[in-house]
């Protein structure tokens, strides 16, 4: 009987894991099934560009099952719960899927309901999902002047630099429309600076100042009051707005909470940061945004994790020690407007540093350049044609390169 | 590594005053640390949070975030801010004598 690998989630992590695994095993030896609740795969890095009219929302969506290699099964249903003891997954449609190896790749949920008063409407928007980004585009088109706040409610969030990119692009967008002198932009964050890591935080903070974006730090949003147009923090501070772009609180999927032992208090799945094996049981693994690993929730991280995860699943099925290790590698282009972008590259141990990537002759790190902007645009093609199918991207490996960086 | 005199003992702290060695901490030190943070007396509810934070640190190797505290400590986020107005996760960690919470990246 073939062994069964069940992958929950057909997004970046689930798709690339399924496709990489399929290459290594015969269909007769290992059965691979991907489960997802809907059939649309969204290119999430593209959401940032939607509100500024820089990309069309329709272009970001493709069929989920069609990204899977031949021989990968696809089952469309929401997940009710995982029975870790019995090695089975119970789906909403009543199906019970037994597994030898389970991969949790179901990403995160946006939880605006956890913040008092936070509801999407005329003045309060998000760009963290397709519908929100599309509505925000219309709101921006109508906006003729006033105060825009970009507010991160709490960490962790997907792609923690996207809100900064959003602020940079907002500056560009209103300059482009000739309205910049009528628009105030404020960046309101719970962190003590622009970003989590000191060197990058200073560089990005300077860039906000340069672009005339004011920054409000250590602001823990307790309430979004749309009628009065103000954010109120838990310690009683207020920030007024005419239009708020809010990144709501994130959590793992609800079924994780319904599966005893699988998740933590925020429904993220604790896993070994090196091997990606879940803490709950040796035959459960986790990848991408769904984990509680101390690294960024970002596509690049998921991509690098995928290589390690597939090796370790093969070790596990062969009864060998899990020898592949993930170093926490993340690599992010930061769009800064005016056809320029910065690039940062870091891991668990090394914060983003200046220099070049992946070596001395390469893309400039922590510095605005047109080349990085082109890199960001070209990446969309690589995502669909190289990353998801499970092909290696030349020069970009799982382990973080140190050559080219300087402290 | 900076140090700090507390209750006649020299303890190791980081640049921001967070304990480096949680085993050096005592309950009496917590009272002194709280005063430095503008909290005159530690109520039973403060202690619920402080003990919870230390237990979390022992189990997980880092102090909890405000949101995790609100979900698991039995004290709501609003109340947490009333107890530790300058930031529950940070101040509770400082007073409870554990390293600065890693937070999120």
Give the confidence band of A294 by pLDDT, cuts at 50, 70, 90.
confident
pLDDT of B103 reads: 61
Say yes or no to pLDDT of A296 above 70: yes
Tell me: the pLDDT tens digits for A384-393?
Answer: 999 999 987 7
Active site annotation includes B104: yes
| Interchain pair A220, B87: CB under 8 A | yes
Average pLDDT over every residue of A154-183: 96
Domain that holds residue A62: 3-109+251-317
| Interchain pair B105, A295: CB under 8 A | yes
Instruction: Say if CB A135 and CB A126 are below 8 A apart.
Output: no
Same structural domain, A150 and A242: yes
What is the dihedral angle through the alpha carbons of A87, A92, A93, A96, rounded to the nearest 10 degrees?
10
Prediction pTM value: 0.92
Average pLDDT over every residue of A140-165: 96
Closest chain B residue to A348, measured at CA: B105
| Interchain pair B105, A160: CB under 8 A | yes
pLDDT of B105 reads: 43
Of A222, A250, A278, the last residue of a domain is A250
Is residue A407 in some structural domain?
no
Same structural domain, A268 and A312: yes
| Interchain pair A222, B103: CB under 8 A | no
Contact of A189 with chain B, judged by CB distance below 8 Å, is answered with no
CB-CB neighbors (< 8 A) of A249 in chain B: 67
Same structural domain, A10 and A81: yes
Min Cα distance A127 → chain B (Å) is 20
Is residue A119 in some structural domain?
yes
Is residue A392 in some structural domain?
no
Same structural domain, A118 and A244: yes
Instruction: Say if CB A246 and CB A224 are below 8 A apart.
Output: yes
Domain of A81, CATH number, reads 3.50.50.60
| Interchain pair B78, A234: CB under 8 A | yes
Same structural domain, A239 and A163: yes
Nearest to A254 by CA among A241, A271, A267: A267
pLDDT of B33 reads: 96
Tokens 């960086």, located at residue = A405
CB pairs under 8 A between A and B: 43
Q: What percentage of residues in chain A have a pLDDT greater than 90?
A: 85
Nearest to A150 by CA among A226, A47, A241, A235: A241
| Interchain pair A155, B71: CB under 8 A | no
Pick among A159, A234, A263, A344 to test the B interface (most B CBs inside 10 A) = A234
| DSSP string computed for A123-184 | SEE--SSHHHHHHHHHHHHH--SEEEEEEE-SS--BSTTHHHHHHHHHHHHHHHTT-GGGEE
pLDDT per residue, tens digit, chain B (105 aa), is 789 999 889 999 998 899 999 999 999 999 999 999 999 999 999 999 999 999 999 988 888 988 889 999 999 998 999 999 888 989 999 999 999 887 644
Same structural domain, A164 and A236: yes
Same structural domain, A308 and A352: no
Query: What is the widest separation between alpha-carbon atoms in chain B?
Result: 37
Instruction: Say if CB A190 and CB B45 are below 8 A apart.
Output: no
Say yes or no to pLDDT of A103 above 80: yes
Give the confidence band of A56 by pLDDT, cuts at 50, 70, 90.
very high
Q: Please, what is the end-to-end C-alpha distance for chain A in angstroms?
A: 54
Average pLDDT over every residue of A230-236: 94
pLDDT of A291 reads: 97
Contact of A192 with chain B, judged by CB distance below 8 Å, is answered with no
Of A295, A317, A339, the last residue of a domain is A317
Same structural domain, A242 and A186: yes
Same structural domain, A75 and A19: yes
Is residue A374 in some structural domain?
yes
Same structural domain, A219 and A235: yes
Closest chain B residue to A220, measured at CA: B87
Is residue A394 in some structural domain?
no
| Rounded Cα distance, A72 and A67, in Å | 10
CB-CB neighbors (< 8 A) of B16 in chain A: none
Same structural domain, A240 and A278: no
Chain Cα centroid distance, residue A152: 14
| Interchain pair A197, B105: CB under 8 A | yes
| Interchain pair A234, B103: CB under 8 A | no
Helix then strand count (H, E) for chain A reads: 7, 24
For chain A, what is the domain count?
Answer: 3
Is residue A61 in some structural domain?
yes
Residues of B in CB contact (< 8 Å) with A are: 65-68, 71-72, 77-78, 80-81, 85-87, 102-105
Say yes or no to pLDDT of A81 above 80: yes
- Which tokens hold the place of A157? 């969030």
Min Cα distance A81 → chain B (Å) is 21
Tell me: the pLDDT tens digits for A236-289?
Answer: 999 999 999 999 999 999 999 999 999 999 999 999 999 999 999 999 999 999
| Interchain pair A154, B103: CB under 8 A | no
pLDDT of A47 reads: 97
Q: What is the mean pLDDT of chain A?
A: 95
List the strands of the sheet with A72-76, edge to edge.
Answer: A72-76, A30-36, A3-8, A101-104, A284-286
The vertex-A87 CA angle with A84 and A90, nearest 5°, equals 80
Pick among A189, A232, A265 to test the B interface (most B CBs inside 10 A) = A265
Of A196, A197, A266, Cβ closest to residue B67:
A266
Is residue A401 in some structural domain?
no
Average pLDDT over every residue of A311-337: 95
CB-CB neighbors (< 8 A) of B105 in chain A: 155-156, 160, 196-197, 294-296
pLDDT of A8 reads: 98
Tokens 């990403």, located at residue = A107
Contact of A381 with chain B, judged by CB distance below 8 Å, is answered with no
| Rounded Cα distance, A268 and A108, in Å | 8
Is residue A323 in some structural domain?
no
């Amino acid at each position: 009987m073939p062994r069964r690998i069940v992958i929950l989630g057909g997004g970046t992590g689930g798709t690339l894991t399924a496709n990489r695994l399929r290459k290594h095993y015969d269909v007769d030896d290992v059965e691979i099934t991907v489960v997802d609740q809907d059939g649309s795969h969204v290119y999430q890095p593209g959401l940032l560009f939607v509100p500024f009219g820089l990309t069309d929302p329709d272009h970001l969506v493709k069929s989920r099952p069609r990204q899977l290699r031949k021989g990968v099964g696809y089952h469309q249903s929401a997940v009710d719960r995982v029975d870790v003891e019995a090695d089975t997954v119970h789906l909403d449609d009543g199906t019970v899927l037994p597994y030898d190896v389970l991969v949790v790749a179901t990403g995160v949920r946006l939880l605006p309901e956890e913040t008092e008063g936070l509801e999407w409407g005329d003045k309060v928007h998000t760009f963290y999902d397709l519908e929100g980004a599309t509505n925000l585009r219309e709101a921006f088109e109508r906006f003729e002047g006033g105060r825009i706040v970009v507010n991160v409610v709490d960490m962790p969030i997907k792609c923690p630099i996207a809100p900064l990119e959003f602020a940079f692009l907002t500056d560009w967008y209103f300059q482009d429309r000739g309205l910049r002198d009528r628009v105030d932009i404020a960046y309101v964050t719970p962190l003590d600076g622009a970003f989590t890591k000191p060197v990058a935080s200073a560089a990005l903070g300077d860039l906000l100042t340069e672009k005339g974006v004011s920054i409000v730090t250590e602001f823990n949003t307790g309430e979004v009051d749309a009628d009065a147009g103000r954010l109120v923090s838990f310690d009683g501070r207020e920030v007024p707005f005419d239009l708020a772009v809010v990144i709501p609180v994130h959590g793992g999927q609800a079924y994780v909470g319904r599966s005893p032992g699988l998740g933590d208090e925020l429904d993220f799945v604790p896993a070994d940061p090196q091997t990606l094996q879940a803490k709950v049981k040796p035959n459960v693994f986790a990848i991408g945004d769904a984990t509680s690993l101390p690294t960024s929730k970002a596509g690049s991280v998921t991509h690098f994790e995928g290589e390690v995860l597939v090796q370790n699943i093969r070790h596990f099925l062969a009864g060998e020690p899990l020898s592949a290790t993930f170093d926490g590698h993340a690599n992010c282009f930061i769009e800064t407007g005016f056809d320029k972008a910065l690039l940062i590259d870091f891991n668990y141990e090394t914060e983003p540093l200046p220099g070049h990537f992946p070596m001395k002759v390469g893309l400039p790190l922590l510095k605005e350049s047109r080349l990085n902007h082109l890199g960001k645009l070209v990446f969309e093609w690589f995502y669909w044609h190289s990353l998801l199918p499970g092909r290696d991207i030349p020069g970009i490996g799982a382990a973080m390169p140190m050559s080219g960086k300087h402290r | 590594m900076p140090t700090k005199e507390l209750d006649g003992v020299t303890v190791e702290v980081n640049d921001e005053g967070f304990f480096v060695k949680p085993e050096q901490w005592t309950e009496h030190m917590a009272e002194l640390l709280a005063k430095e943070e503008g909290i005159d007396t530690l109520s039973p509810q403060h202690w619920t949070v402080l003990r919870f934070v230390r237990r979390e640190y022992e189990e997980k190797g880092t102090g909890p975030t405000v949101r995790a505290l609100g979900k698991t400590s039995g004290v709501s986020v609003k109340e947490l801010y009333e107890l530790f107005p300058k930031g529950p996760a940070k101040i509770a960690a400082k007073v409870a004598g554990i390293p600065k919470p890693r937070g999120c990246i």
